[in-house]
Copies of this chain bind each other. A is one copy, B any other.
Amino acid sequence: MEILSHFYEVIIEEGFEGASIAKIAEKMSVNPSLLIHYYKTKDAMIEGLIEHIINTYSSHILPDFSKVEDPKERWEDVLDVVSRIQWGTFLNTTVFYSAYTLSLRDPGVKNKFTELYEKVVGQLQDEIAHAQQANIIQVKDTRQAAQLVMTLIEGANFYQNVSHNGVDIEKRSRMIKETITLMTDNNI
């Protein structure tokens, strides 16, 4: 929605702590009380934003691989996508980590994040099982493997922001792919 996307913008510019109703309204060239008119309170607005973030993440992080028929090709597609995931492309990092940090204190937000990751890990697990059935990879525990992949993805994204002069995205991708392949080749 109009309001949420401006909320989003303000967080990027001023951080979560600097995102006030007045600033959002100013950016929209609209009266502050209008925002309150829609979202009764600021907390409700934050809730709306969190939902927006979760939805964006959820619908962008992994595409639907089911239309790829050849299992080998499909698994390679998964590896390709997974190793290249980066927040910046579909979700601003400041906004994402602000929401994540909020989840640490707010049980409601935490639940949403938990569900989100449950879903994504589930999808990953399905792909692993699918590849396993086709004898392309070999893992002991599909869920554990999916969690490990998720861990790698999040770790890589986290680490990327504290790296000296950026990160070579191709090299990073290769490294992640190699690691996953190593795991799936060795019955982890």
**Copies of this chain, tallied across the complex:** 4
- A33 within 8 A of partner (CB): no
> How far, in whole Å, are A154 and B156 apart by their CA atoms in the complex?
8
Query: Interface readout for A79-121 with B: 1 if CB under 8 Å, 0 if not?
Result: 0000000000000011001101111110000100110111000
Shortest distance from the beta carbon of A94 to any chain B beta carbon, whole Å: 5
Are the C-beta atoms of A104 and B179 separated by less than 8 Å? no
Range, interface on chain A: 35 or more
Are the C-beta atoms of B175 and A144 separated by less than 8 Å? yes
- A147 within 8 A of partner (CB): yes
- Pick from B15, B97, B162, B178: contact of A113, CB below 8 A: B162
Are the C-beta atoms of A94 and B105 separated by less than 8 Å? yes
A97 CB contacts on chain B under 8 angstroms = 97, 100-101, 104
A98 CB contacts on chain B under 8 angstroms = 101
The winner among A113, A155, A175 for most chain B CB atoms within 10 A is: A155
Q: A114-B164, A144-B175, A179-B183 are in contact. List 8 more A-B contacts (CB 8 A).
A: A15-B101, A94-B104, A97-B100, A110-B161, A114-B162, A117-B163, A151-B155, A158-B158
